[in-house]
């Protein structure tokens, strides 16, 4: 039996590309995944820490706003890297995704494996739906998640579902 894998999709579906996390959760909900728990999160830091408490393996999906080329796919291992605090476009609120990860490290409460996946957004304006450039990068994002945790996403067998 597989150890459970928690997938947290972070973002706001009413701010276009910021809705990446919830969009991925919706998409994965359509597949019959075994051993995977799916959750949407706003990105508020203390709630994130509470959400992953007790989990050994966590995937976090969030839109990225780093100045990279829109559509660039990111994959970061939280235990190996310092997460830059301005990396995730959430808000200027003082305790969000990056701070929650660094805080969990300082407190020794980081899950054994926590992998962040993201796509550099093109449009964080008001409205629903992802921009074409982020939509076009979804297959690569899903492939990366699959490659990192192959046992959970065998169902895709190389076929990545469409958004």
Q: How many residues bind other proteins (CB under 8 A)?
A: 18
Residues in the chain: 163
The maximal CA–CA distance of the chain, rounded, in angstroms, is 43
Asked if 102 touches other proteins (CB under 8 A), the answer is yes
Q: Which of residues 104-123 bind other proteins (CB under 8 A)?
A: 105-108
**Would you call 60 helix, strand, or coil by DSSP?**
strand
Asked if 47 touches other proteins (CB under 8 A), the answer is yes
CB of 110 to other proteins, least distance (A): 12
Nearest Cα neighbor of 51 from 65, 37, 64 is 37
Our CB check for other proteins shows the closer of 102 and 123 to be 102
Q: How many other CB atoms are there within 10 angstroms of residue 3's CB atom?
A: 12
- Burial of 156: CB neighbours in 10 Å, binned 0-12, 13-18, 19+: middle
DSSP string, 64-79: E-SSSPTT-EEEEETT
CB of 146 to other proteins, least distance (A): 31
Asked if 92 touches other proteins (CB under 8 A), the answer is yes
Asked if 67 touches other proteins (CB under 8 A), the answer is no
Our CB check for other proteins shows the closer of 3 and 93 to be 93
Asked if 50 touches other proteins (CB under 8 A), the answer is yes
24, 61 Cβ separation under 8 angstroms = yes
Our CB check for other proteins shows the closer of 79 and 154 to be 79
What is the contact surface with other proteins in residues (CB under 8 A)?
Answer: 42, 44, 46-47, 49-50, 91-95, 99, 102-103, 105-108
């Amino acid at each position: 039996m597989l150890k459970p894998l928690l997938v947290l999709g972070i973002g706001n579906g009413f701010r276009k590309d910021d809705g990446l996390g919830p969009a991925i959760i919706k998409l994965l909900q359509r597949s019959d995944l075994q051993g995977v728990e799916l959750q949407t999160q706003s990105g508020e830091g203390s709630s994130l820490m509470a959400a992953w408490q007790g989990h050994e393996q966590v995937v976090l999906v969030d839109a990225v706003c780093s100045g990279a080329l829109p559509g660039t796919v990111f994959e970061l291992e939280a235990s190996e890297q310092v997460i830059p605090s301005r990396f995730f476009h959430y808000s200027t609120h003082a305790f969000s995704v990056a701070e929650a990860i660094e805080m969990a490290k300082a407190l020794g409460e980081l899950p054994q494996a926590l992998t962040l996946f993201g796509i550099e957004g093109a449009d964080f304006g008001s409205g629903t739906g992802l921009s074409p450039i982020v939509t076009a990068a979804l297959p690569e994002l899903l492939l990366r998640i699959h490659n990192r945790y192959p046992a959970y996403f065998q169902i895709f067998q190389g076929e990545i579902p469409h958004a």
